[in-house]
Structure 1
Amino acid sequence: MYSFKNLTSLVAGFIILCGVGLVAGCNTQSTPVTTTAQNSIKHVFVITLENKNFSSTFGNSTQDTYLQGTLVPMGALLTQYYGTGHVSLDNYVSMISGQPSSLATQTDCAEYQDFSLSSTDSNGIATGTGCVYPASVKTLPDLLTAANLSWRGYMEDMGNDPTRESAACGHPALNTRDLTQSPEAPTTAVPNGDQYATRHNPFMYFHTIIDSPSCATNVVALPQLKKDLAAASSTPNFVFITPNLCHDGHDGDGTGTAGKGCVNGEPGGLTSIDAFLKEWVPLIMASPAYQQDGMIVINFDEGAPPTPAVTMVSGIPTLTLTYPGAPCCGQQTGPNVTRPYITDYPASAATGGMPVQLSYAGIGGDQTGAVLISPFIKPGTVSNTPYNHYSLLKSLQDIYSVTPYLGYASQPGLVGFGSDVYVKSN
């Protein structure tokens, strides 16, 4: 989500953050799967970054030269990859469960509250309100565990400030305010600061995970990954990596300009994304698990920053932020939200003393693009096939041969990665 920390500059300068408007949904096109290549993949490493449009990440930016100039040529660029919502959490939830947005997840669950379940349809889509789904709602980790396959989430900065969250399975107490909504600058007590955000850790929103004793060993701080990569036997089959709020590009504009960076002084934006990838991707690619049968997925939760304007609402000047919400692949709205949708927030110092109105135009998360790298993907591949986070989940289930398809991964007409992606190198 584009936090209120960044809104003061929007009010002062009426800055238009993105020129991308609402576009029509993508048409799904079935692509035959190269079964041998897909079934040969046994270890998948997902690195999820934040809040960038395809046009900025893979266009003329000079901040991400490693991503564009080194990583893209190594694998497949998915030009038509889309997020599934705004602002952050609903995207992460969809990647591992197929669940659509709820009123709480589309606003990042500032209160870490239970999901009150009303009903569940035949595809497992939950109707209700709240954040933390009951044990009846299943996730990819649940299916992997049942199939005797391993998984682990690696969260940068988790546990840096133990008064906010634990270093393992770190989340707020149920039905309390989430103190990780804002980054914590370095202090004497917390020398490295704490830029962990629970809302970027999808595993913390399912009781099947947080109620299990194995949560503490499956959701861990990022440094553990270096140890786990040492051998294929210690590398989980499914790896999900969440950088901190600076290194995932959520905070900062990447320029290094004073006052426009992260709380620890780093530039953030695509500049810090590039530095993170340059550190971690070579470590993954050098690991026995990747070289044997691995695939790296680099995606973004959502694109298209909101378009800001100051309008009169009930006679009061109000900062209005409109998310385009362009969808892909016949994405359905789901039972818990409507589009268009407007929600209001009171005035605060971060917004220049103005009330804020968030306006959601479409249900999608806009075009972000994604990069896939693997020994089973031909370098320099470009796919224009439409995909989204539900497609990713379906593709992961196909790789691991685990069923049933979860939530909207079971949507009729939705395709997983096919021969447009899995093109074996000669």
Structure 2
Amino acid sequence: MAIRFRGKLWALYASVFAALFAALFVSACGSSSTPAATGQQQIRHVFVITLENENYASTFGSSSKAPYLAQTLASQGALVQNYYGTGHVSLDNYIAMVSGQAPTPQTDNDCTDYEDYNLTGMTSDGQAIGTGCVFPASIKTLPDQLKAAGYTWKGYAEDMGNDPAREAATCGHPALNTADQTQRAEAPSAAVPQGDQYATRHNPFMYFHSIIDSPDCGTNVVNLNQLQNDLQLTVTTANFNFITPNLCNDGHDSPCVNGQPGGLTSANAFLEKWVPIITASPAFQQDGLLIINFDESSYASQTLNTSTKPATLTLTYAGGTCCSEQPGPNLAAFPQSQAYGSVPASAIPGLPAALGNIALVMAKSNYGGDQTGAVMISKFIKPGTVSTVPYNHYSMLKSIEDIFGLSHLGYAGQTGLAGFGNDIFTNL
């Protein structure tokens, strides 16, 4: 005779059987629970501070003039020893960080004229072919990706707009196809009491029509003095924040037109002021990552020839690379050299002012930006972490795209390129 279970008794047996079956299935096939997100996947607020022109040994060696960066901040997060720039001199590195685009002859030499890009084609790996500086709207950037995915971004540039005759206080750049008057710092004067040490070439967003032709540019590319207010609340803090110190505080100039020492000394003081403000913010405390990098290393050697009139100073860059970096489709073969105008001898440390103005020549042995090192801080990074894995600016772009679930632009999508991994995100 068949036994039939009814009502609550049947429900009890059915639930026990279902639970037993599920347990056996999970045991055989593995856990059915969703894996915990890695530290990188949990990050939702990224801050990048880019400094200028220092090699790894100068910044992080025992005699560093930036002890707050080299010792204090490195001990709070990860020292990424083998971080590399992607080119010399400045602008090509900044463009690589936000677009994955390789240099043109003009961006490789800082675009002293703010000229439109003449696009003649595209490579199969997403590189624009052509010459010039300001990429057409078809060439997309990290901000374009973030906006399309529903995330926010902002660029903060110190001193931008101090002299309205040079650049606007938001989305500040020269008029198209004119000389870039921001190539040199402007000293304080009666008309501009604070001086103006903003450099367009250190603000990568200004080199893409997809940004400068958008109303977002006036809202999102602003003076650094707005950062502290934006950090007060998580909802007013952008998901991606790119911070550009002025020519003194990023270490580019030394000495500076305002009487400050510049170099690593001023860069160190800038970090001492701003890093605690960033790391104390609600957004950073919740899920932030701070990256402090350098655009490129300094030159490897300098040669002074006083037999010429005027005297000629040749600065030679080694151009070391990592990560199977490619030169891109637009540059001539290396080594290269190019006249770079004239500068007062007094502006070059170690040269006698009596030489007056000297001719400056940039010589590049190869196309890379050499080893600079970087520091990264996050609650997902164990204090005192040291990474020896090679990374460069394309790696950083790839990593930020991975954080926000975006596709890879340009050379950030290069086969085999490593993004930041568990050598950095050690506190999971």
With the length of structure 1 as denominator, give the TM-score of the two structures. Answer: 0.87
Counterpart amino acid of 1:138? K
CA change 1:140–1:182 in 2 (3 A) is: same
- Matched with 1:396 is 400
SS in 2 for 1:152: strand
1:129 CA drift (Å) = 0.3
- Matched with 2:369 is 365
Rounded to whole Å, the distance in 1 between the matches of 2:340 and 2:181 is 19
Q: Which of 263, 275, 283 in structure 2 is aligned with 1:269?
A: 263
Q: Is the 8 A contact 2:50 2:292 kept in 1?
A: yes
User: Quick check: 134-143 or 60-69, which moved more?
Assistant: 60-69
- Matched with 1:410 is 413
Rounded to whole Å, the distance in 1 between the matches of 2:302 and 2:70 is 29
Rounded to whole Å, the distance in 1 between the matches of 2:358 and 2:275 is 42
Q: Is the 8 A contact 2:381 2:424 kept in 1?
A: yes
Rounded to whole Å, the distance in 2 between the matches of 1:336 and 1:73 is 40
Rounded to whole Å, the distance in 2 between the matches of 1:372 and 1:134 is 32
1:316 CA drift (Å) = 9.4
Question: Could you give the per-residue CA deviations for residues 174-217 of structure 1, whole angstroms, max 9, x where no partner exists?
Answer: 00000000001111111110000000000000000000011000
1:342 CA drift (Å) = 2.6
Q: Is the 8 A contact 1:304 1:324 kept in 2?
A: no
SS in 1 for 2:139: coil
- Matched with 1:319 is 313
Q: Does 1:205 align with 2:207?
A: yes
1:14-93 equivalences under 5 Å are 36-93=38-95
1:125 CA drift (Å) = 0.4
1:124 CA drift (Å) = 1.7
1:62 CA drift (Å) = 4.5
Question: Could you give the per-residue CA deviations for residues 63-87 of structure 1, whole angstroms, max 9, x where no partner exists?
Answer: 2121122111000000000000000
Aligned length: 383
Rounded to whole Å, the distance in 2 between the matches of 1:409 and 1:87 is 20
Q: Is the 8 A contact 1:391 1:416 kept in 2?
A: yes
Q: Is the 8 A contact 1:304 1:367 kept in 2?
A: no
- Matched with 1:7 is none
CA change 1:313–1:395 in 2 (3 A) is: farther
Q: Does 1:387 align with 2:381?
A: no
SS in 2 for 1:368: coil
1:349 CA drift (Å) = 5.6
Q: Larger Rg: 1 or 2?
A: 2
Question: Could you give the per-residue CA deviations for residues 75-117 of structure 1, whole angstroms, max 9, x where no partner exists?
Answer: 0000000000000000000000001111000110000000100
Rounded to whole Å, the distance in 1 between the matches of 2:361 and 2:64 is 33
SS in 2 for 1:340: coil
Q: Is the 8 A contact 2:343 2:360 kept in 1?
A: no
Q: Does 1:187 align with 2:189?
A: yes
- Matched with 1:303 is 297
- Matched with 1:18 is none
Rounded to whole Å, the distance in 1 between the matches of 2:115 and 2:158 is 23
Q: Is the 8 A contact 2:80 2:388 kept in 1?
A: yes
Q: Which of 210, 221, 224 in structure 2 is aligned with 1:222?
A: 224
- Matched with 1:334 is 328
With the length of structure 2 as denominator, give the TM-score of the two structures. Answer: 0.86
SS in 2 for 1:277: helix
SS in 1 for 2:314: strand
Q: State percent identity of aligned pairs.
A: 59
Rounded to whole Å, the distance in 2 between the matches of 1:200 and 1:214 is 19
Q: Is the 8 A contact 1:41 1:295 kept in 2?
A: yes
Structure 2: any 5+ residue segments left out of the alignment? 1-35, 346-355
CA change 1:38–1:349 in 2 (3 A) is: closer
Q: Does 1:378 align with 2:391?
A: no
SS in 1 for 2:95: helix
